[in-house]
Structure 1
Amino acid sequence: MNHCDDNNINPNMVPRTEKEIENLIKRLKRIEGQVRGIQKMVEDNRYCVDILVQISAINAALNKVGFNLLERHTNHCVSKAIREGNGEESIQELMNVIKQFSK
């Protein structure tokens, strides 16, 4: 699967491997299951602190996925852009997404 064949893809993108995609999907499905668990906790009128602990775990899991993507983006896509002479724009894009991610 070559993601660069898609016309909507940034030309600096370095396609993820099938293994990378598989790992991200596994993590996201696990998070999805955790969210459904919280919904059930709310339906069952569970103790607020127990729900908050689970929300904290989901936030940590999402942050881990996000940092994984940030690291990969920096090491592959930004690095490629720099090598190809498009580094300034790619670095600015990275800084903007870091600002957004850290809110």
Structure 2
Amino acid sequence: MTAQTGYQDHKTDRLARLRRVESQVRGVTRMAAEDRQYIDVLTQINAATHTVQEVALGLPDDHT
């Protein structure tokens, strides 16, 4: 008998969101290297933060 994590039902969605964050963070890194305007960098950081928060807040729901 193997243990199953509570997020198995939404694993595909969670992974897609995390891949989106990964891409956003790479974009932020590229923007910073290109000396883009700070408001554009902050906007992308905010988007990545929001996506991470969505994933984090969804995990407890999967365990109830």
Report TM bin, short chain.
0.7 to 0.9
- Structure 1 residues 73-95: Cα deviation after superposition (integer angstroms, max 9, x where no partner): 2x1xxxxxxxxxxxxxxxxxxxx
Higher relative contact order (CA 8 A, sep 6+): 2
TM (norm. structure 1) is 0.55
RMSD: 2.1
Which consecutive unaligned segments of at least 5 residues does structure 1 have? 6-12, 76-103
Which consecutive unaligned segments of at least 5 residues does structure 2 have? none
* Percentage identity across paired residues of the two chains: 28
Task: Name the structure 1 match of 2:34.
Answer: 44
Q: Does 1:68 align with 2:58?
A: yes
Q: Does 1:21 align with 2:36?
A: no
Pairing 1:92-103 to 2, within 5 Å after superposition: none
Q: Would you say how many aligned residue pairs link Structure 1 and Structure 2?
A: 64
Contact 1:4-1:15 within 8 A present in 2 as well: no
Task: Name the structure 2 match of 1:4.
Answer: 3
TM (norm. structure 2) is 0.84
Separation of aligned partners in 2, 1:38 and 1:56? 10
Stretches of 4+ moved more than 2 A in 1? none
